[in-house]
Amino acid sequence: MALMITDECINCDVCEPECPNDAISMGAQIYEIDPEKCTECVGHFDEPQCKIVCPVNCIPFNPAWRESEEQLRDKFARLQAAKA
């Protein structure tokens, strides 16, 4: 499942550069994660990098966007192919 940023976000700017898929961007009030691009860092790292660096722990799994490990790997492959 993709990740999401909750309204506890303090806009500290540390998560955006950590995302290998460029899924994080500034929204109207806080940072947002594009679920179409979020692979929970599958294919890049063992853990979601944004969750590791977030000082306020405001990046939970998005319950509205459920994906299996296989789906995340497929999404990773599609995103990599689009970059090539």
For tokens 């998560």, what's the residue? 15
Q: What is the separation of C-alpha 40 from the centre of its chain, rounded to a whole number of angstroms? A: 5
Q: Is the dihedral of CA 45, 43, 19, 34 positive or negative?
A: negative
Q: Where are the domains of the chain?
A: 16-83
- At the second CATH level, the architecture of 16-83 is 2-Layer Sandwich (3.30)
**In terms of pLDDT, which residue wins out, 11 or 84?**
11
* Burial (CB count <10 Å: 0-12, 13-18, 19+), residue 64: exposed
pLDDT value for 83: 84
Reply yes or no on whether the pLDDT at 1 is more than 80: no
Three-class DSSP category at 81? helix
- pLDDT tens per residue across span 6-40: 999 999 999 999 999 999 999 999 999 999 999 99
